[in-house]
Amino acid sequence: MSTTRLGAPLRHLILLILTVAALAPAYLMVTGSLKSQDEFLQSPWSLPTSPRLGAFRAALGDQLAQWFLNSVVLTVTAVLITVTIAAMAAWGLVHWPFRGRDTVLALTVSLMVVPPVVLLLPLFQLGAKLGWISTYRIVIIIYVGLMLPFSIYLLANFFRAIPTSLFEAAAIDGASAWRTFWRIVLPLSGPPVATLVVVNLLWVWNELLLALVFLQSDSKKTLMVGLTGFQSRYSLDIPTVMAGMSLAVLPLVLAYLFGQRYFIQGLTAGAVKGE
């Protein structure tokens, strides 16, 4: 009993320390963006005495707004295509019997272990031959291909957990396979789909290497690529750099806040096998 009583406060203390360590950079970034350069250098950890938005105006006055829009277009397109294809592929691999189905699913899942960096050179050569360098087409195709294995794996596990009695009842009522998928499967798939959207959105938004290599035109750069040069130009203006980073993080925070009610449910989806 005494060990249990001592263990709970210790766990809470560890969680508190980890929470503070995780939130400290975000606090420094947000408060720093609201300070002047002198105030930040004098007391970087204090709250701003007189919050100002000059750093945000300077950041948005650069190409940050264009890079932000590029990232939004690229991320939304890639994530929507990935989730759509993954849902249909997972449904087919789980509920449409055909020879080699398990092998196809296993090969698809095995692609998750392939690091993107080993594909960089052949993909760049292919993009150069097609004339797709500095276009969104090649980047979106690569992003979709990299996100599909995990997306199919997660949705396939969830689809297996849906009771087959629902599909049998739909078939008795005369529902086609597409109608069953659209009217029964998708409405039940809110948690895993929301999880996929959040996870894939975080990855695409933060991805740097592929966007840096394939989007060489300055007008096509994503926010993460643009911020690398942005930090170099404003290395002596810390509040402006902090403001740019705050704007880059904001969509991710909003996406998680709106999707968190489904996030934990989605991570545990498929843990219980349906009858």
- pLDDT for residue 266: 55
- pLDDT for residue 138: 94
Q: Which residues contact 105 (CB under 8 A, 6 or more apart)?
A: 93, 152, 156
Question: Per-10-residue mean pLDDT for the chain, 275 residues long?
Answer: 63 88 90 90 88 86 87 95 94 83 85 87 92 93 94 89 82 81 84 88 92 89 86 76 88 79 58 44
The values of phi and psi at residue 91, to 5°, are -65, -45
Nearest partner of 190 among 250, 264, 257, judged by Cα: 264
- pLDDT for residue 271: 46
- pLDDT for residue 137: 93
Q: Are the C-beta atoms of residues 159 and 90 closer than 8 Å to each other?
A: yes
- pLDDT for residue 263: 62
Tokens 């766990």 correspond to: 11
- pLDDT for residue 124: 93
Cβ-defined contacts of 243-250 (< 8 Å, 24+): 243/33, 243/55, 243/56, 243/58, 243/59, 244/59, 244/62, 244/64, 245/29, 245/33, 246/29, 246/30, 246/33, 246/56, 247/56, 247/59, 247/60, 247/64, 247/68, 248/68, 248/223, 248/224, 249/26, 249/29
**Position 11, amino acid:** R
Tokens 């929507």 correspond to: 80
